[in-house]
Amino acid sequence: MKTLILNIKQLVQTELSPRKWVAGKDMARLGILENAYLLVEEDKIAGFGKMEDLDREAVYAGGDIVKEIDATGRLVMPSYCDSHTHLVYAGSREIEYIDKIRGLSYEEIAKRGGGILNSCERIRKASEEELFDAAYDRIQEIAGFGTGAVEIKSGYGLDTESELKMLRVIRRLKAETPLLIKSTFLGAHAVPLEYKGRQTEYVDLIINEMIPMVAAEELADYIDVFCDKGFFTVEDTDRMLNAGMKYGLRAKIHANELDYSGGVQVGVKYNAISVDHLECMGEEEIACLLESETMPTVLPGAAFFLNMPYSPVRKMIQAGLPVALASDYNPGSSPSGNMKFIMSLGCINYKMLPEEVINATTLNSAYAMGVEEEAGSIAVGKLANFYITTPISGIEYLPYAYTADLIEAIFLKGEQY
């Protein structure tokens, strides 16, 4: 089965020679073909080019069924890659939303048993089936927003049984949905109430029990730690990442959301695939990242929802760094997985160009979750994960029309969704 999309106004993020990421000034450059075609065969991209160069005889050779789609006036975009989410959770936290409106800080809410610990209590009470059903609905939601690849973390269980339960839900989502999914073990999301005042003992539990059991069931691709003020120290993080590395779990880090935590540096030390949040970034952190293979990942939804200072994205790009954007979809600080809105926030609040936010939500975010060889761009051999827009003027309209639904058709692994 082949699908041939014709008369595409703009075929966006095309690559003849796939790259792992784009950085610095290159983030403002985007491969765009005008008046183009795209050929899909089974679940892969088989070819693309200018309409004037289309060889119809070659497409139809062999007698394959070919479905043609006319995309006149429309853009074709690679699906978003959302490299940081917490979308397996039980119940919402709108009461804390009201607390924020009344002036309580993130840390104050956490100290009262809210925040992550609130979600922890709910996760422990929920069945695996209940968690799967709720997460499955969220997966369908984000797919409808144009996301084709997503990283999902545990981290609301905070005991061995509940963390494993969350990771098994993620494994089932991998098997039963068309999205490309990566799983991250985040037992070190917070210190549970039963270990209050005994943080080192909880770290020992993660190292000696949780990590070996996660690895034994092959439940995670990555290990994450919330290395920040009021959460886990650099020393704690170092110990846990070292233990995870021994079991084949590459690092991803929550870093520098609340303060200059040292999280960036310890992430780079362990060759983390990404360091995420990054509201607090100075010259030392930028210099450290420039010498690394670690993707700086900014979460505009969380900063927007919590009314936090914005990460210095322009300074990072000007220094030559790549930048990825992700949704941080979670019930407490970013209750949305709409990556088009994340692009809009990137433009409005971080002064990123449309080309930069597209690179940050596709190719760079694909790297930040380890799927850059399969997703993130229009390239021959990559998965056919893309969407067709409604008739629009060009790429600039996507972040500009920040609440408009501009998707007409979605393809995941070559099938119309």
Known binding-site residues for Zn(2+) equal 84, 86, 254, 328
For the annotated binding site for Fe(3+), the residues are 84, 86, 254, 328
Find all residues with CB under 8 Å of 393, minimum gap 6, and list them: none
**334 φ, ψ (degrees, to nearest 5):** -160, 75
What tokens does 119 get? 């979600």
Write out the binding residues for 4-imidazolone-5-propanoate: 93, 156, 189, 257, 333
Q: Please report which helix (H) or strand (E) contains residue 45, including its range.
A: strand 44-50
The token pair that represents 268 in the structure block: 């780079």
Write out the binding residues: 84, 86, 93, 156, 189, 254, 257, 328, 330, 332-333
Triad 324, 328, 330: Cα angle to 5°: 170
DSSP string, 226-263: EESTTSB-HHHHHHHHHHHHHTT-EEEEEESSSS--SH
Could you list the residues known to form a binding site for N-formimidoyl-L-glutamate, using ranges: 156, 330, 332
User: What residue has token string 């790259």?
Assistant: 19
Strand 250-255 relative to strand 222-227, pairing: parallel
- C-alpha 255/C-alpha 300 separation (Å) is 14
Query: Cα separations (Å) of 66 from 81, 188, 239, 255, 414?
Result: 28, 50, 54, 48, 12
Residue 19's alpha-carbon distances to 14, 82, 147, 179, in angstroms, are 11, 18, 20, 22
**What Cα–Cα distance (Å) separates residue 309 from each residue in 65, 161, 351?**
53, 36, 14
User: Distance (Å, rounded) from C-alpha 245 to C-alpha 18?
Assistant: 28
- Rounded to whole angstroms, the Cα distance separating 118 from 112 reads 9
